[in-house]
A and B are shown apart, each in its own frame.
Chain A
Amino acid sequence: MNRAFALEIARLSGEHVVLVAVSVALAALIAIPLGIACTRREAIGRPALRIVDAIQTIPSLALFGFLIPLPFVGGIGAKTAIVALVLYALLPILRTTVTGIRGVDSVVREVGVAMGMTPRQLLVEVELPLAAPSILVGIRIATVTGIGLATIAALIGGGGLGTLIFRGVAMVDARLLLAGSLPAALLALIADFGISRVERRLSAPPSRDTRV
């Protein structure tokens, strides 16, 4: 493997990481507040979950295709790819935020209310810390699946490791295919491992014992 090729793999891996990191971060910024809103009002919760569920059922190839002709979010390039990746990352984060907050022991929540916490204090002091491990599971799932999905971004000019994979498919070149997919798999493993560690750090001490 020559030096130029190695550099290209490194550059595309970097693009890949940026695509996924930016989209998961944006998705978290949308899905966590939305998830909190879902637990506050059924009227938001039901439709929001249904819409996000529906997005997930759109085949990824088709979603990228649908986005291209759209104004603002569409077109060719990394921006469109990020929009698509954000849409896919919403579901796991939204779901785990909702289940995490709903899973807070009702006695603990009641004690918080009874000791005079405002709804905001209850959220910050009790609900979010106790839901954090669950929310991180969502972020981890979104990241790992996002790393796989982001390979399709190359199709619409989004860059990343998919560029090598599509070139490999077009040229029926197994070496190119591997050069794209192996680093992607490695990135997914690293992300999985790294975020799992943070999850364990954040989980409340009771589960810290049992999970080591």
Chain B
Amino acid sequence: MSCLVELIDVRVVRDERAILDGVSLRVARGEAVAIIGRSGAGKTTAIKVVNGIVAPEAGTVRLDGQSLAASDLVALRRRIGYVVQGVGLFPHRTVAENVGMVPRLLGWPQARIASAVESILDSVGLEPAHYGGRYPHSLSGGEQQRVGIARALAPEPDVLLCDEPFGALDPIVRRDLQELFVRLRRERGTTMLFVTHDLAEALFVGDRVVLIDAGRVVADSDAREFTSLADPIVRRFVDASGLGGEQ
């Protein structure tokens, strides 16, 4: 399998502090990698390095074998779906306009945009006729979050970056969307980087789990083996999640 996303020895420095300190990460095409770690560990920063929102001070980022530093970021970003931590819907645009934004930037014909918007709203459990014309402020937190997910998925991106996409969702919708993600991977072969605090979710959605702590990758393992790793930071995570019972 070819490597779609590659971070090699990436270093990001803010206020004279390395918030990513030599992070290397390879994601194969079609693979789903869950990134976990404590608050402030550098998960969001790692995600933002992939779409060039954060430019690293050192190290290399490659997408599809091409260095990000030498790429046309605008064109490249339109192939990368991004579910931002904090939703960030355009408040002056309706739900349908939010979701159809990237397809519009890509110059899709109107009819194709409309049908893509409709089908993806349906997939995230929002009745298109009821929600399409509404403005973000009139939605609940969980509905907004689902619109954010739909917006990232609508253009059928090659790579999907998700930063705690399910935080505001009730357990039922959350499970529905986790299953949607798994299904999307099967159907579209979407490559995913998925940040979450929830280890169970990481194991469910991810083929691989990467644990970042204080700007470093401390564990990078197959999801099936993660809970049996001996690393002390992993152990604390596993124990705190109550998933280490069989140990």
Contact: B92 with A116, CB < 8 Å?
no
Contact: B75 with A116, CB < 8 Å?
yes
Contact: A115 with B78, CB < 8 Å?
yes
A190 within 8 A of B: no
Question: Provided the pairs A107-B86, A116-B77 are in contact, do residues A206 and B101 lie with their beta carbons within 8 angstroms?
Answer: no
Question: Provided the pairs A114-B82, A116-B76, A117-B105 are in contact, do residues A205 and B92 lie with their beta carbons within 8 angstroms?
Answer: yes
Chain B residues near A110 (CB-CB < 8 A): 53, 84, 88
B143 nearest CB across to chain A (Å) = 15
Question: Provided the pairs A117-B105, A206-B91 are in contact, do residues A111 and B74 lie with their beta carbons within 8 angstroms?
Answer: no
Q: Give A209 to B91 CA distance when docked, in angstroms.
A: 13
Query: Would you call the interface of chain A mostly helix, strand, loop, or mixed?
Result: helix
Q: Give A107 to B136 CA distance when docked, in angstroms.
A: 14
Interface size for chain B: under 10, 10 to 19, 20 to 34, or 35 or more residues?
20 to 34
Closest to A209 in B: B137
Contact: A121 with B88, CB < 8 Å?
no
Contact: A205 with B88, CB < 8 Å?
no
Q: Give A205 to B95 CA distance when docked, in angstroms.
A: 12
Q: Give A125 to B93 CA distance when docked, in angstroms.
A: 10
B109 nearest CB across to chain A (Å) = 18
B102 within 8 A of A: yes
Chain A residues near B88 (CB-CB < 8 A): 105, 107-108, 110-111
A32 within 8 A of B: no
B181 nearest CB across to chain A (Å) = 19
Contact: A206 with B82, CB < 8 Å?
no
Contact: B137 with A115, CB < 8 Å?
no
Q: Give A206 to B91 CA distance when docked, in angstroms.
A: 7
Contact: A108 with B90, CB < 8 Å?
yes
Contact: B91 with A113, CB < 8 Å?
no
Contact: B101 with A115, CB < 8 Å?
yes
Render A122-136 as a binary contact track against B, CB cut-off 8 A, 1 for contact: 000110011000000
Render A92-120 as a binary contact track against B, CB cut-off 8 A, 1 for contact: 00000000000001011011111111100
B51 within 8 A of A: yes
Q: Give A204 to B91 CA distance when docked, in angstroms.
A: 6
Contact: A116 with B84, CB < 8 Å?
no
Q: Give A67 to B145 CA distance when docked, in angstroms.
A: 57
Closest to A132 in B: B92
A141 nearest CB across to chain B (Å) = 23
Interface residues of B in 52-98 (CB under 8 A from A): 53, 73-78, 80, 82, 84, 86-92
Interface residues of A (CB under 8 A from B): 105, 107-108, 110-118, 121, 125-126, 129-130, 204-206, 209
17 chain-A/chain-B pairs, Cβ below 8 angstroms: A108-B91, A110-B53, A110-B84, A111-B90, A114-B77, A114-B80, A115-B101, A115-B102, A116-B76, A116-B77, A116-B102, A116-B105, A121-B105, A125-B101, A130-B91, A205-B135, A206-B91
